[in-house]
Amino acid sequence: MPPATRWDIFCTVIDNYGDIGIAWRLARQLSAEYGLSVRLWVDDLASFQRIRPEIDPRQPSQTLAGVDIRRWDPAAAAVPEPEVARVVIEALACQIPEPYAQAMARQDPKPVWINLEYLSAEDWIEGCHGLPSPHPTLPLVKYFFFPGWTPGTGGVLRESGLYARRDAFQASPAEQHAFWTRLGLPPPKPGEATLSLFAYENAALPELLQAWAGQTQPTRLLVPEGRPVRQMAQFFGATGAQPGDHWHTGQLTVHILPMLDQDEYDHLLWACDCNFVRGEDSFVRAQWAGRPLVWQAYRQEEDAHWPKIQAFLDRYTAQVQAGHTQLLDGHAPAPDCGQALATLWQAWNREQGAGIAWPAFWQCRQALALAQQEWNNRIRKLGDLADNLVHFCNEKL
């Protein structure tokens, strides 16, 4: 069989931007780098518009970057049978409409059906990656495809040329100046730390703001509008907040940014000294930025998110410990940087103690930046998720 040329990706937007962010990155890469005809079915185009301003939520069909974008009502009938794709992807465990599944069953040969799962570092995903799951009543087989950071998984998303664009930006004062100008901000002052924060609400945020305000180094915190902005306003005694607002206390200055599209958010990650991120999409992009980062996992019932946090920390802190036990200036031994990172991540996700954990983490920033680069070099060898997915599906056709 020739490689599949038409792919359908279905996405239900659950967590504001993470689901659609991942689905869009995948769709765009499949179209641009593999010449595939990709339709992206999305149930919430308004959220999609926040990360891609070109999207018109009123339109049932539109094209962006070569991708055919369709407004999807999961309760409605699906596309006509002749348009069933050769590869069908349920992004992040959503479910395709039953009429569409029935149309798939009538195709000969049958489409390749993929359940693209959530990203995890847990050991068990290696044993489940690529496993088939026969449909209980239809002559169809669904395959589980697990992103991950180890051999035996699908890898993580990384489009071609990402490193080159990042390195060019970080090496170009002109590009960085243009970026700060677009945000309406001056470039960082000499000696000033620049942090970004894209997070869920977090009870530990006020104590972290206090820690930044009380340290000796001037710190600029950049916060795209979203969930923690109301907490920011309350901390500074304001009645509300909107993009363009800024506050100052002690050594800390906070700027509220507009919601950035994906490309500008990448620039923000590349421009900052440390990035607080959440969920899955921004977590992966912050890793590719090569800067120290702090991850806030999506909170789940019965603390089901904690095994995911610990599984990643086990792998990641081992990389930190192996490569960097001394500060780059060659003076006194560094604190245990792997432990410093784990302590802050755990405090941030428990929503208490983050202010106390921050100083040790920040002392390790140079070691953590180098460890991140080594980590990235390691996971690049796994191939990127889109490429691994294309090869997997072509083998099944």
The 3-class SS string of the chain reads CCCCCEEEEEECCCCCCHHHHHHHHHHHHHHHHHCCEEEEEECCHHHHHHHCCCCCCCCCEEEECCEEEEECCCCCCCCCHHHCCCEEEEECCCCCCHHHHHHHHCCCCCCEEEEECCCCCCCHHHHHCCCEEECCCCCCEEEEECCCCCCCCCCCCCCCCHHHHHHHHHCCHHHHHHHHHHHCCCCCCCCCEEEEECCCCCCCHHHHHHHHHHCCCCEEEEEECCCCHHHHHHHCCCCCCCCCCEEEECCEEEEEECCCCHHHHHHHHHHCCEEEEECCHHHHHHHHHCCCEEEECCCCHHHCCHHHHHHHHHHHHHHHHHHCCECCCCCCECCCHHHHHHHHHHHHHHCCCHHHHHHHHHHCHHHHHHHHHHHHHHHHCCCCHHHHHHHHHHHHC
How far apart CA 101 and CA 44 sit, in angstroms, is: 21
Residues with active-site annotation? 19, 280
Interaxial angle between packed helices 262-271 and 281-289, expressed in degrees from 0 to 180 and rounded to the nearest 10: 40
93: which 2 tokens? 């465990």
For residue 115, the cross-strand partners are: 90, 144
- Measure Cα distances from 77 to 54, 155, 386 in Å: 27, 34, 29
Residue among 227, 320, 330, 240 nearest 279 (CA)? 227
